[in-house]
A and B are shown apart, each in its own frame.
Chain A
Amino acid sequence: MNRKLIALLLVLVMVFAFTAVNAFADDDLIKVGIINLDPSESGYRQANVKDLNDTFTKDNGYDATFVTAPTADKQLEAARAFITDEVEYILVSAAETTGWDEVLEEAQEAGIKVFLFDRMIDCDPSLYTAAVVSDMRLEGETAVAWLESLGLEEYNILHIQGQLGSAAQIGRSDPLTEKCEAADNWNIVREGTGGDSWDPNEARKIAEAAIDAGESFNIVYAENDGMADGVVQALDAKGITHGIDGDVIIMGFDCNKWALEKVFSGEWNYDGQCSPFQAGVIDEMIKTLEAGGEIEGLNELNQIISVEKGFDAMTICRQDILTYGLG
């Protein structure tokens, strides 16, 4: 009898404690679920994850849960968990552009607002509140335009693609493949991919395979800095020169600090910028919504596009590395 009483008392205390903790946790903090890719993906991702971690803090008024998942299915799983957990906002950088409609609809029904960052998703713009992204296609077009401005006689390109199906890969690949189809003197000698990754080691293997097969190319179009570096390692090992005075033109994307250093020293020829700093913009938008305001400055696709540049080895200066270099 006595024991039962004590047990009952304990249960009551526990229930009270839980509600108290919950009430404390809910204390004005905005509950956010953030789905990102794995930081080991690239230097870009490291900068991106760090930026989010630094912005969505308790001190800044957020109760944020971070999930880093490298593949689409794990990301979708995380999104469903966030919906069940009744977060107020979900932030997503999608591994793949497709397959999100259903989850986004569920989120909308649950009254959760979704923000896309870094990478776009192929769906109706009404399914997300805003997308703070880079125009990956514009990045690709800028790079191809730069390449064209060199006025080479022959463009024999080793094309290293990133994670297949990601917005970054599609956006950076399409302008190049279109140009190669249109122009007679533009050829893709060899096309390779990191498959499900942006792995420099895969890029190195693709380059080694191309060189072993006796292919000759004068341009390496790698879709991120790490992969460009992997190719350069293979070129160095095989005794093929590259950069300003070399036989092969090296192009990368993302503007990691170390990569810009290589552009500056003339080992590489070009690096395209891709800004990983979206957290501040999203933070501001959420604060506006919480204050009852409306988000302004979105285009017809509900996007806010980061302004980006490309850096040429001939014109880059020290200040560019300090201002735009990641890491």
Chain B
Amino acid sequence: MKKKNSSSSGLGQLLIPLVALGILIVFNLFRDISFFSITMRVNNSGNSVLAGNLISVIDSASELAIIAMGMTLVTAACGGQDISVGAVGAISGAVFVKVLQGMGSITVSSVIIGLVLCCLATIVFKLFNGTLVAVFRIQPMIATLILYSCGRSIAYWINGDATPQLNSPIISSIGMTIPGIPIPTPIFAVLLVGLLLFLVFRFTSLSLYTQSVGINANAARLNGINPTYIKLVSFILLGVCVSVASIIGVCRLGQLNHKTLLVDIEMDAILAVAIGGNNLGGGRFKLIGSILGAYIIQMLTTTLYAMNVAPVNVKAYKAIVIIIIVVAGSPVVKSKLTALWNRIRSGGPQNAQKEGVS
């Protein structure tokens, strides 16, 4: 762990999330080792599913992990956060359900059409945010506050039928497990979105452009990068992430509730970005950090559940741990720790020599 700190080039940013995750794992090892047990069970529909706390962590964090990836991009490019992801997620879920209902029956093709249309609709809403931020230079939090406050009403307007039910094996395959594959499907969705973004970064210069726009938009413009365009692209990618997450959310419960779908996820997503060591003021970013952040948040929740903390009280306990993580990752504490480490390193050999003499 100390070695990672000294070689601050690559892992420096990931130090805090990795240490936090490590502490959570060690804590659970000592608390109750059965936390890590995974069993295979057969559920009512006759499907084998993997069950265990670890599976629930990875499964339940899926929506958060996906949105956190998109949020990282927006944060890096715009130097601010989109707080409307939950509300726009509700809209996106409403569009998905509306399309499925309009098509009459739920088949694989209607789900794919629903996914595409829902994705497009979400991108439109995210471009609205993006335009306010990139073209009109409104502070991201203020610009996205608009959809944050009215998004769920729009979702209700799109789908006035308050809590439409979606009963179909295809829906439960997306929300839970595909028959024959015991691993929850949402996990694959995270991998898919992660892979998509990886490929985008691998074969384009988007990552570099995003960072340079985030660090200094004017300098980027002088170097021939169009900041408006880059910011809009980050919002489009966030839109894709939000629509995928909302579909998982709808399919998990088999129904749409415009009030509770992805509720409060914006705060957790911003937190995941922060825990991942990304600068909330824009610039350098690491997607993997945010993904780790998402799993840490869920690991914390599940650990608290396992310790018999009621879901309503979890937020309070979570807050305490998160304060510690965020403070530990703050620049002030980081520079103090680095100074301390340097002093120990420079003083270290002498001490060792003295010990050897005595």
Q: Which residues of A contact B (CB under 8 A)?
A: 38-43, 45-46, 192-193, 195, 197, 199-202, 204-206, 208-209, 212-214, 226, 229-230, 233, 235-243, 246, 258, 267
Write out the residue numbers on chain B whose beta carbons fall within 8 Å of the beta carbon of A214.
34, 306
| Contact call B43/A240, Cβ cutoff below 8 A | yes
The verdict on B139 contacting chain A, using a C-beta distance below 8 Å, is no
Write out the residue numbers on chain A whose beta carbons fall within 8 Å of the beta carbon of B51.
237-239
Question: From A209, which residue of chain B is reached at the shortest CB distance?
Answer: B305
Query: 26 A-B pairs, CB-CB below 8 angstroms?
Result: A39-B162, A40-B163, A43-B163, A192-B311, A195-B312, A197-B259, A199-B259, A200-B260, A201-B263, A206-B311, A208-B305, A209-B305, A209-B311, A213-B305, A213-B307, A233-B176, A236-B176, A237-B43, A237-B51, A237-B177, A237-B184, A238-B49, A238-B51, A239-B42, A240-B43, A241-B43
| Contact call A213/B308, Cβ cutoff below 8 A | yes
Write out the residue numbers on chain A whose beta carbons fall within 8 Å of the beta carbon of B49.
236-239
Q: Which residues of B contact A (CB under 8 A)?
A: 34, 39-45, 48-51, 53, 56, 59-60, 156, 161-163, 165, 167, 172, 175-177, 184, 252-255, 257-260, 263, 302, 305-312
Question: From A200, which residue of chain B is reached at the shortest CB distance?
Answer: B253
Write out the residue numbers on chain A whose beta carbons fall within 8 Å of the beta carbon of B312.
192-193, 195
Please name the 9 residue pairs, one residue from A and one from B, whose CB atoms are nearest each other, closest first: A239-B41, A209-B305, A40-B162, A239-B49, A212-B305, A39-B162, A205-B311, A239-B43, A238-B51
Write out the residue numbers on chain A whose beta carbons fall within 8 Å of the beta carbon of B311.
192, 202, 205-206, 209
| Contact call A235/B305, Cβ cutoff below 8 A | no
Question: From A191, which residue of chain B is reached at the shortest CB distance?
Answer: B310
Interface majority SS (helix, strand, loop, mixed), chain B: mixed
| Contact call B162/A243, Cβ cutoff below 8 A | no
* Alpha-carbon distance A236/B51, docked complex (angstroms): 10
Given contacts A199-B260, A213-B305, contact A233 B310 (CB under 8 A): no
Write out the residue numbers on chain B whose beta carbons fall within 8 Å of the beta carbon of A38.
162, 259
* Alpha-carbon distance A113/B231, docked complex (angstroms): 59
| Contact call A237/B306, Cβ cutoff below 8 A | no
Given contacts A192-B311, A212-B306, A213-B308, contact A201 B257 (CB under 8 A): yes
B181 CB to closest chain A CB (Å) equals 13
| Contact call A209/B43, Cβ cutoff below 8 A | no
Given contacts A40-B162, A213-B308, A238-B49, contact A233 B254 (CB under 8 A): yes
Write out the residue numbers on chain B whose beta carbons fall within 8 Å of the beta carbon of A237.
43, 49, 51, 56, 59, 176-177, 184
* Alpha-carbon distance A40/B93, docked complex (angstroms): 15
Write out the residue numbers on chain B whose beta carbons fall within 8 Å of the beta carbon of A241.
42-44
Per a CB cutoff under 8 Å, which of B56, B172, B260 touches A208?
Answer: B56
Write out the residue numbers on chain A whose beta carbons fall within 8 Å of the beta carbon of B42.
239, 241
| Contact call A200/B305, Cβ cutoff below 8 A | no
B86 CB to closest chain A CB (Å) equals 13
Write out the residue numbers on chain B whose beta carbons fall within 8 Å of the beta carbon of A45.
162
* Alpha-carbon distance A212/B177, docked complex (angstroms): 19
* Alpha-carbon distance A38/B53, docked complex (angstroms): 35
| Contact call B156/A229, Cβ cutoff below 8 A | no
B53 CB to closest chain A CB (Å) equals 5
| Contact call A235/B310, Cβ cutoff below 8 A | no
* Alpha-carbon distance A208/B52, docked complex (angstroms): 11
Question: From A257, which residue of chain B is reached at the shortest CB distance?
Answer: B165
B306 CB to closest chain A CB (Å) equals 5
Write out the residue numbers on chain A whose beta carbons fall within 8 Å of the beta carbon of B39.
239
| Contact call B44/A233, Cβ cutoff below 8 A | no
| Contact call B253/A233, Cβ cutoff below 8 A | yes
| Contact call A246/B44, Cβ cutoff below 8 A | yes
User: Which of B40, B165, B306 has the largest count of A CB atoms less than 10 A from its CB?
Assistant: B165
| Contact call B305/A204, Cβ cutoff below 8 A | no
B252 CB to closest chain A CB (Å) equals 7
B160 CB to closest chain A CB (Å) equals 8
Write out the residue numbers on chain A whose beta carbons fall within 8 Å of the beta carbon of B53.
212
Write out the residue numbers on chain A whose beta carbons fall within 8 Å of the beta carbon of B254.
229, 233
Given contacts A45-B162, A214-B306, A258-B165, contact A40 B259 (CB under 8 A): yes
Write out the residue numbers on chain B whose beta carbons fall within 8 Å of the beta carbon of A242.
44
Write out the residue numbers on chain A whose beta carbons fall within 8 Å of the beta carbon of B306.
212-214
Given contacts A43-B163, A192-B310, A199-B257, contact A236 B41 (CB under 8 A): no
| Contact call B163/A226, Cβ cutoff below 8 A | yes
| Contact call A236/B257, Cβ cutoff below 8 A | no
* Alpha-carbon distance A256/B310, docked complex (angstroms): 28
Write out the residue numbers on chain B whose beta carbons fall within 8 Å of the beta carbon of A199.
257, 259-260
* Alpha-carbon distance A50/B254, docked complex (angstroms): 23
* Alpha-carbon distance A200/B255, docked complex (angstroms): 9
Write out the residue numbers on chain A whose beta carbons fall within 8 Å of the beta carbon of B48.
239
User: Which of A195, A205, A243 has the largest count of B CB atoms less than 10 A from its CB?
Assistant: A205
